């Protein structure tokens, strides 16, 4: 999962630079991210397959498949937006606004680390609550659902600000051009 989260930024950068631009890439892959978080929350609800109401899921395969799908979508979403978010923020400043740009990046990275710290503290508290329809158990759906809801809210706020953003058009990705050049050279060499 972690490896996929750190490999998918390459895909996100290619998509943003070659086709969609940073704004659309952030929006579309954030939707993928949100769907992944919702799938994770749903996958952790034991009661959806607990027909005998004993507190244990009757179809563990469904929960595992949903969990893996959720993690895959989260990895694609979070990794895909990773190269775009900071760059998109930097695009909002003109060349003479170096001090403001520097302040933005300081606050941006502080916010990311503060969010990580808060999630490390709050998620176990949410998980420790008891919840369930048929039986009471640790509340993983709440621990996964709250971040999903917050991400949906953040995405809506981001989209609503669309008219205020500076949006550059995609100019092409140098990595794709290099790969095409190598492919052309290999093809014509033999």
**Is the pLDDT confidence value at 190 over 70?**
no
Instruction: Give the model's pLDDT for residue 162.
Output: 96
Interval 98-127: pLDDT, tens: 999 999 999 999 999 999 999 999 999 999
Across 141-163, average pLDDT? 97
Q: Which domains does the chain have, with CATH numbers?
A: 2-189 (1.20.1250.20)
Q: Give 185's DSSP letter.
A: H
Tokens coding 92:
């909002």
Backbone angles phi, psi at 137, to 5 degrees: -150, 175
- Per-residue pLDDT tens digits for 47-100: 888 878 777 788 889 999 999 999 999 999 999 999 999 999 999 999 999 999
Residue 148 pLDDT: 97
Going by their DSSP bridges, the two strands 137-138 and 130-131 should be labelled as antiparallel
Q: What is the pLDDT of residues 17-38, one digit of tens each?
A: 889 999 999 999 999 999 999 9
Structure tokens at 116: 């990580």
Mean per-residue pLDDT for 168-186? 83
Q: Give the angle subtended at the CA of 53 by the CAs of 51 and 54, to the nearest 5°.
A: 125
């Amino acid at each position: 999962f972690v490896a996929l989260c750190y490999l998918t930024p390459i895909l996100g950068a290619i998509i943003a630079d070659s086709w969609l631009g940073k704004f659309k890439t952030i929006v579309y892959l954030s939707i993928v991210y949100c769907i992944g978080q919702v799938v994770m929350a749903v996958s952790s609800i034991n009661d959806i397959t607990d027909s005998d109401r004993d507190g244990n899921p009757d179809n563990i395969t469904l929960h595992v498949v949903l969990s893996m799908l959720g993690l895959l979508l989260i990895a694609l979403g979070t990794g895909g937006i990773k190269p775009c978010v900071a760059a998109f923020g930097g695009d909002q400043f003109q060349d003479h606004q170096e001090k403001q740009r520097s302040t933005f990046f300081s606050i941006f990275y502080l916010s990311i680390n503060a969010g990580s710290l808060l999630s490390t503290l709050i998620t176990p508290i949410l998980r420790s609550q008891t919840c369930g329809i048929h039986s009471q158990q640790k509340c993983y759906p709440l621990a996964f659902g709250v971040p999903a809801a917050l991400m949906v809210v953040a995405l809506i706020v981001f989209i609503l600000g669309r008219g205020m953003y500076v949006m550059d058009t995609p100019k092409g990705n140098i990595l794709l051009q290099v790969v095409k050049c190598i492919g052309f050279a290999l093809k014509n060499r033999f």
